[in-house]
Amino acid sequence: MPDKFTAVKGMNDILPPQSARWEWLESTVRELMARFAYRNIRTPILEHTALFVRGIGEVTDIVEKEMYSFHDRSDKYGDNDHLSLRPEGTASAVRAVVEHNLLYDGGKRLYYMGPMFRRERPQRGRYRQFHQIGAEALGFPGPDVDAELILLAAALWQALGLTDVRLELGSLGQADERAAHRAQLVAHFQQHADQLDEDARRRLHSNPLRILDTKNPAMREVVESAPRLMDFLGPQSLAHFNALRAILDASGIAYTINPRLVRGLDYYNLTVFEFVTDRLGAQGTVCAGGRYDGLIAQMGGKPAPAVGWALGVERVLELLGEQGRAPAAPAPHAYAVVPDAAAMPQALHTLQQLRAAGVRVQMHAAGAEGLGSFKSQFKKADASGAAHALIFGADELAAGEVTIKALRDGAGAQRREPLGDAIRWAITLK
Ligand code: ATP
Ligand code: MG
């Protein structure tokens, strides 16, 4: 171990003032989820590894190489379990829904936010601990709910002031349509085997759809000339897709159809979508989602349809930063200047009442050298960004009062207020 500790590679501390932007994003999301009647779900960060193998799929980047997994030691509560830090939120949400039988009285709309873990190469927009916000609608089969989820994401971009994201939309059809497509896809890749990289060759038979999701630029041509799944859709799948499009059109949500959007697993079907930007380099997908009507049954639940999306918080915040949308933490309304330690008990009592009335007050705290001079306290009051200084001087306390001095608008103006009556004048500070 070095004698100085650092955070684990690819895992970031989120510090003030940047953390204020996270809080702002999270509170905007909470407010919006309430408007769409989505309810919060919180699941453990550790799950049985088998859950992710089943829920994400064995032949995926995540399960093959990105999970943080370990053998828990056995004790009387569990037997040598193989556990993993969650790499995404859907598998856990579905597990909880099945475990607690949440769909017993109909569909549920859920959302979550929190850290996810993937051992990827750290780079801009790609971290080993990153954060997702996800929305899942379980138990609803129709394109109306697919549309609702897309409208929810669009409303979020609007509430955040995020521009420069565009919606790409596709359909994976149903299992039989994918099987017909898959046969031709494998034949196409076999014909061009010389253009496939090692990952693709390995997946050719286990998960050929995933090859379409490659990030290898050398494979662009062979991927672009591949047969398109959307050309294999039957009338029912097309009807679902067109109904979704009609709702988006009526709501003025622009999109482009991307026939190469894929999810490589059998329980994904019909709608797939991504919100992408050109402003974050290779890490351009800020939000991805789709329908997974087969997953609940795959996880041992009674078959029920479901659809959802997840967004990458770091990518959304980075894009907002690019656009100069970076709200700061609110400054305190007032800063308490306490020239004499004897005044501290009375001062803190008053501050408590002001805070209860909703006033943001920063207390002047003593350092190693004590409280410091009146002048140095005032300097700190000014630097805090507060609009007012509250002066708890000996004079004031003798009269049972506090001096309120304006630091910004009308700077210098001052007045006295009675300490016993803080609730009344608290409002004048806000
Ligand atoms: P990508 O193609 O960029 O690897 P993905 O398909 O692995 O993304 P999903 O599993 O669909 O991503 O996760 C949803 C969103 O979470 C992504 O669109 C992205 O915004 C974000 N995300 C995924 N992995 C990371 C990561 N390692 N670091 C930061 N954000 C991530
Ligand atoms: Mg990935």
How do residues 326-375 score in pLDDT, each as one tens digit?
788 899 999 999 999 999 999 999 999 999 999 999 999 999 999 999 99
- Report the nearest-CA residue for atom 24 of ligand 1: 126
From residue 276, how far is each of 284, 294, 409 by CA, in Å? 5, 26, 43
- The yes-or-no verdict on residue 270 having pLDDT over 80 is yes
At residue 97, the pLDDT reads 98
> Quick check: bond before 17 cis, omega within 30?
yes
Considering 97-101, 161-165, 220-224, the range whose residues carry the highest mean pLDDT is 97-101
311 Cα nearest atom in ligand 1: 15
Atom of ligand 1 at shortest range from CA of 132: 16
**pLDDT value, residue 78:** 67
Three-state secondary-structure class, residue 84: strand
Least confident of 143-157, 325-339, 388-402: 325-339
Ligand nearest to the CA of 316: 1
Atom of ligand 1 nearest to the CA of 310: 14
Quote the ligand 1 centre to 114 CA distance (angstroms).
13
| Residue ranges per structural domain of the chain | 18-173+233-322, 334-429
Residues 6+ apart with CB under 8 A from 235: none
- Determine if ligand 1 sits within 6 Å of the CB of residue 149: no
Looking from the CA of residue 128, the nearest atom of ligand 1 is: 27
Looking at residue 343, what is its pLDDT? 94
Cα separation values, 319 from 151, 369, 405, Å: 20, 44, 40
Is 120 a pocket residue for ligand 1 (Cβ < 6 Å)?
yes
Q: Which CATH architecture has domain 18-173+233-322?
A: 2-Layer Sandwich (3.30)
Partners of 48 in beta bridges: 83
- pLDDT, tens digit, for every residue of 104-137? 999 999 999 999 999 999 999 999 999 999 999 9
pTM of the predicted protein model: 0.93
Q: What mean pLDDT do residues 156-183 have?
A: 95
Q: Is the pLDDT of residue 267 over 90?
A: no
Ligand 1 close to Cβ of residue 196 (< 6 A): no
pLDDT confidence of residue 262: 82
**Strand partners of residue 57:** none
Same fold, 18-173+233-322 and 334-429: no
Phi, psi of 60 (to 5 degrees): -135, 155
What is the chain's mean pLDDT, rounded? 94
CB of 264 shorter than 6 A to ligand 1: no
CATH no. for 334-429 = 3.40.50.800
- Token readout for 290 is 């789709």
CB atoms within 10 A of CB 3: 4
**pLDDT, mean of residues 13-35:** 96
Residue 264 above 80 pLDDT? no
